[in-house]
Structure 1
């Protein structure tokens, strides 16, 4: 009998429809800038939640270690596991959001720190720590006006009592909170009230004999706009990737600088290739429906990236890509897996030519900001929608 299995060739290394490059020098430049904002004794925690804002958790963890960042904050226990597998004890890992009670023993055994903002989690952490014979390293989050997570003021007497009763099983690493919109100066009164309430709660903890090892309240925006919030540790996310929290934050900072030069550099470059080229006659519709009618004879390039891969459908007929260092307009409806662009003004475009979706090609650049504005998405939203299975690599 013929052995058909022996006839099947070894599976080749197949290529994805697009790829992402991350610039090491850009990241190191951003880290250096952030550190100029901080006093020498303020610790920098790199926020890598949301798959490192879409950049890739493992790759960004590597860049952090190379840049000497030894504190990494993530949202979930699953993200913490991925960072832990990459760092092998070289960095402190902090879970700011979800960790199931069943996963607390693993976190405690590996010295992974985590936010506590519910009595249930605190009690479960105490039980797990007692069973392991090893203290849980907790960051107690207090509610100061964000109204999202954090212990309310009336819960604190019971929490203080629990902390006192179980001192051997707990390490109170910090008292922390999060500000509600520090990137917009219109929120200044609210931020000021939050800070005032936080400081009062901190004094209450200290007065009860429970002085936390550190305080942290500041994200990227608060670190820029409210220097008094930097304290012993800051949680920096979006700036490390080369983006400002919003346009207002950027404008306010640059107005104070003599040269008014943007110190942040984007890490990300997202690229694909032309999959097919074809001619479309005047009067023909392009793609699904009737949203795009060829007003003249046109040449169209198809790119194997669509909304399933992070290129929003809202970019239909308004988006841009770069081919041959020149902008090419998206025409027709962005499909699940494809988009079409007008290359009528370009000569010699062929199958396999590079297409830049975000980043620089020649002298032209498509920024995430312009990409986001065209699709009415926030920088954060657009970036974190980039699928995790797009291959990523670190370049200089």
Structure 2
């Protein structure tokens, strides 16, 4: 059996910890929808979703129908699924047949969903998305009269599971007033629908940041993405929520993911020699260099050239030279007895040392979200305790 050049571990203990912490914050009344778009933020839908179900998750959100199909197969239909973004008109019948819920934010999708539901002689489970200031997707205020008319005329084939919106940056103080205004617009939109006898089973608007920062925005359901995996939406969110109540440096969330590889080769480079492609790194002394078979083709960004870090034998070592498509080079001069085959930790812990995903944003311009979702689907994922 051929092995991949790296592998990912998901911690069951960390997932349980994060679920418990989120439930403690959000309370028992509010439904948590676990957002698993972007291949479960790089954690792997096929590995993460069954684990989440095992630990109590009952509702999942995806961006598109392809992801929903993956989740459906992963849970054998034993969870509620909601598509927040892309679903082609020809995919609507599959969604309706399998009771997959989906956002409706334009007239075309609304009409096509009604036609598909009539053809199949059943109800489409839909969430009506309102435009409140994000200016991305959602029905505009001046479209609502037509939307209301169409929904009322076809009420027998539409199950209004939700009315929803999405906040434009709840993780940042800079967007405070914009988000507050969005909440007010959303409430007005909901009232207008309710006055026209269009009731939803659930109102929802909050992502991870809004759920922890604005309790009133939790409504009936929250859509939790990054926090379930052990990451805060922003430093601001972490400081506001954690620092007043926790010991300095103590984080109530635990990182679920670890990314590991191994040393492929050891080479000794003399002072004055360049290392790797081009002339970006010059050895200023005799050094020992370890080659690791992971590069930007595996999701380790080229922007981490000469700035990234990894762990070898519990020592944090620097990435030197340009990150290649399939390889990177580490200066392991300070590591005793480094050998071919030694474990290399790119994300995660090794002994008392750690490399966090957030540290990558310190070394490059990548966000947590970006690095995680760039991790290739074919890297093996394993569950560990």
TMscore range, shorter length: over 0.9
Q: Which residue of the partner structure matches residue 6 of structure 1? A: none
Structure 1: gaps of 5 or more residues = 1-12
Residues in 2 aligned to 1:343 and 1:210: alpha-carbon distance in whole angstroms: 65
Q: Which residue of the partner structure matches residue 205 of structure 1? A: 193
Q: Secondary structure at the match of 2:320?
A: coil
Residue among 162, 166, 170 paired with 1:182: 170
Mean alpha-carbon deviation: is it higher for 146-155 or for 38-47? 38-47
> Is contact 2:262-2:293 (8 Å) kept?
yes
Cα deviation, residue 255, structure 1: 3.1
Q: Secondary structure at the match of 1:196?
A: helix
Residues in 2 aligned to 1:280 and 1:123: alpha-carbon distance in whole angstroms: 67
Q: Which residue of the partner structure matches residue 320 of structure 2? A: 331
> Is contact 2:138-2:165 (8 Å) kept?
yes
Residue among 113, 125, 144 paired with 2:101: 113
Moved over 6 A (4+): none
Residue among 153, 164, 180 paired with 1:192: 180
Establish whether residue 351 from structure 1 lines up as the match of residue 333 from structure 2: no
Q: Which residue of the partner structure matches residue 256 of structure 1? A: 244
Cα deviation, residue 111, structure 1: 0.2
Q: Which residue of the partner structure matches residue 10 of structure 1? A: none
> Is contact 2:34-2:224 (8 Å) kept?
yes
Residue among 68, 73, 77 paired with 2:56: 68
Q: Which residue of the partner structure matches residue 301 of structure 2? A: 312
Residue among 271, 291, 294 paired with 1:282: 271
Residues in 1 aligned to 2:367 and 2:69: alpha-carbon distance in whole angstroms: 28
Q: Which residue of the partner structure matches residue 3 of structure 1? A: none
Structure 2: gaps of 5 or more residues = none
Residue among 281, 285, 288 paired with 1:296: 285
Cα deviation, residue 268, structure 1: 0.6
Cα deviation, residue 128, structure 1: 0.3
| Matched residue count | 384
Deviations 1:341-390 (A, max 9, x none): 01111121111110000000011000101122212111111111111110
> Is contact 2:26-2:212 (8 Å) kept?
no
Q: Secondary structure at the match of 2:349?
A: strand
Cα deviation, residue 65, structure 1: 0.5
Residues in 2 aligned to 1:214 and 1:331: alpha-carbon distance in whole angstroms: 52
Q: Which residue of the partner structure matches residue 341 of structure 1? A: 330
Deviations 1:308-333 (A, max 9, x none): 00111111111111000001111111
Q: Secondary structure at the match of 1:347?
A: coil
Radius of gyration: which is bigger?
A: 1
Q: CA RMSD in A?
A: 0.9
Residues in 2 aligned to 1:129 and 1:73: alpha-carbon distance in whole angstroms: 21
Matches within 5 A, 1:1-396: 13-257=1-245, 259=247, 261-396=250-385
Residues in 2 aligned to 1:31 and 1:202: alpha-carbon distance in whole angstroms: 30
Q: Secondary structure at the match of 2:138?
A: coil
Residues in 1 aligned to 2:342 and 2:28: alpha-carbon distance in whole angstroms: 47
Deviations 1:208-260 (A, max 9, x none): 00111110000000001110000110000000000000000000012331545
Cα deviation, residue 106, structure 1: 0.4
Cα deviation, residue 296, structure 1: 1.1
Residues in 2 aligned to 1:30 and 1:392: alpha-carbon distance in whole angstroms: 19
Mean alpha-carbon deviation: is it higher for 243-252 or for 373-382? 373-382
Q: Secondary structure at the match of 2:375?
A: coil
TM-score of the pair, normalised by structure 1: 0.96
TM-score of the pair, normalised by structure 2: 0.98
Residues in 2 aligned to 1:251 and 1:208: alpha-carbon distance in whole angstroms: 43
Q: Secondary structure at the match of 1:194?
A: helix
Residues in 2 aligned to 1:299 and 1:38: alpha-carbon distance in whole angstroms: 50
Q: Which residue of the partner structure matches residue 9 of structure 1? A: none
Cα deviation, residue 187, structure 1: 1.2
> Is contact 2:123-2:157 (8 Å) kept?
yes
Q: Which residue of the partner structure matches residue 5 of structure 1? A: none
> Is contact 2:348-2:355 (8 Å) kept?
yes
Q: Secondary structure at the match of 2:22?
A: helix
